Structure 1
Amino acid sequence: DPDGDGLNNVEECFTDQWGSNPYHKDIFIEFDWTVRYPGDLLNKPSGEYIDQMVAAFEQRNITLHIDTGGLTGGEEIPYKSIISPDELCDIYWDYFLHNDLNNPRKGIFHYCLVCDYGPYAGFSFVGCDHLDSFCLSAQTLQENQPKYTRKHLIVGGAIHELGHTLGLTVDDFGGNDNMGVVDTFSKQWWKYHNYKSCMNYRYTYKIIDYSDGSHGRGDFDDWGHLDFSFFKNTHFRLPEKYI
């Protein structure tokens, strides 16, 4: 893995068909989506907003490959109003692995399912044996964040949850997934005011980007802490204050 993107040379050979480069960081995501009742396709990620997500990575010299059907995966799956955590694992098996534990996409692609209602608005989960997957509940997001379009919320949620599968967790930084930051003028709100990242609940959906740590006190360099192999070698550690 000469470029340190978590993909070994054999995997890079497989992904060469989609333009990967063993000397340049590549990240692959497959999106599947449920039909949104009563049958429109609004759960499919929008190319317009996907381009914004891709551009954020391009600025860091990382190529983000998004599969919504063009990379032999990415598909619409049958409608189900509410999807439980157990059902997510079934969907992962049926529509991502296609009932093949040796499917070469495992360990190469991160997996995202967009549905109406899942366990939470955004939910990272262990598809098989590592934290390589996440679910976005588009209808929940739209109900909770009515000032944004559904298309915007899907991609804004995707880059946040992707960050978790790349190792950005509260274990590393207290401003990540901290509910206190949304309470205006609270201690946490002030403490992490400069953490201009989609991983900060204060800016999730407002910012489709991670922080580079350059915004002053209370900021964190997300980009410098990405763990490209985390989604295939998941590990967690306690914050230092608990050690």
Structure 2
Amino acid sequence: GAQNKVIRPFGKHDIALHIDDGCMGGGESIKHTETLSEDEFNDLFDKKYNTNEGFTQSRKKIFHYCIFADNIWTGRSGKSYSSNKFVVADGHSVVNPIIGSHVKGQAGSFMHELGHSLGLFEGSESKGPGYFPGIDNDKSDDWTWPWNTDHPYHKYKNYKSCMNYRYQTEIIDYSDGNHGSGDHDDWSDIMITIKNIRS
């Protein structure tokens, strides 16, 4: 299902992504709450991360912590921190649409938030590796007239990445930067993050 859709693109780049949903001794169910608050999320993370209950010393540098909640405090489909934790709102209409695929919604939203956790952020490329203005651009999925070429809908149409809201649940992959003007190479930035984690 959704896990394989996320694992496959990493494999194409010689990265072995493992999702521990309990099969490797880490994942577990947590108490249900209609809307998970930021404090609840941080408390759950701190309990897991700082007590070695799920993050042993060997896991701390390479594992990222994710919770699938029903809804979250932001009202959005997910929230990521630029370290090693993120949350996906499984009840959100982007993740679980009335029309469309829940599996693709889960996979795309998980991969989108993981991308932030691996160093992909919205902003000017002059800020350094990992920054690109097409990431999280709220206007990139708002249709506009074709002659309005500076509008994000057209400017970033070639940015074929789940980091682009326009494709978040349609393209379960990061871009390699080979799609023409307005594209960005996410994978190169992710490799910089992975290299820094290993050192």
> TM-score, with normalisation over the residues of structure 2?
0.82
Would you say 1:190 and 2:154 are equivalent positions?
A: yes
Structure 2, gaps ≥5 residues long: 124-130
1:108 aligns with one of 58, 62, 74: 62
Would you say 1:138 and 2:90 are equivalent positions?
A: yes
1:59-70 to 2 correspondence within 5 Å? 59-70=12-23
Please name the residue that 2:184 is paired with: 220
Would you say 1:78 and 2:43 are equivalent positions?
A: no
Would you say 1:54 and 2:12 are equivalent positions?
A: no
Range with greater deviation from structure 2 (81-90 or 98-107): 98-107
1:134-173 to 2 correspondence within 5 Å? 134-141=86-93, 145-171=97-123, 172-173=131-132
Would you say 1:177 and 2:136 are equivalent positions?
A: yes
CA–CA separation in structure 2 for the residues paired with 1:58 and 1:149: 23
Change (3 A) 1:219 1:140: same
Once the two structures are superposed, residues 102-158 of structure 1 have per-residue CA deviations (whole angstroms, 9 ceiling, x without a partner) of 832322211110010112311013xxxx62111011111358732233333222101
Aligned residues: 181
Once the two structures are superposed, residues 137-182 of structure 1 have per-residue CA deviations (whole angstroms, 9 ceiling, x without a partner) of 1111358732233333222101001100111101311000000111
> TM-score, with normalisation over the residues of structure 1?
0.68
Contact persistence 1:159–1:209 (CA under 8 A): yes
CA–CA separation in structure 2 for the residues paired with 1:60 and 1:76: 31
Structure 1, gaps ≥5 residues long: 1-47, 233-243
- Percent of aligned pairs sharing the same letter: 37
Please name the residue that 2:49 is paired with: 97
CA–CA separation in structure 1 for the residues paired with 2:65 and 2:5: 19
CA–CA separation in structure 1 for the residues paired with 2:122 and 2:195: 14
**SS of aligned partner of 2:80:** strand
Once the two structures are superposed, residues 186-223 of structure 1 have per-residue CA deviations (whole angstroms, 9 ceiling, x without a partner) of 61101001001000000000010001011101111111
Please name the residue that 1:199 is paired with: 163
Please name the residue that 1:42 is paired with: none
Q: Which amino acid aligns with 2:77?
A: A
Please name the residue that 1:30 is paired with: none
Q: Which amino acid aligns with 1:147?
A: I
CA RMSD of aligned residues (A): 2.4
Q: Which amino acid aligns with 1:193?
A: K
CA–CA separation in structure 1 for the residues paired with 2:195 and 2:134: 20
**SS of aligned partner of 2:188:** helix
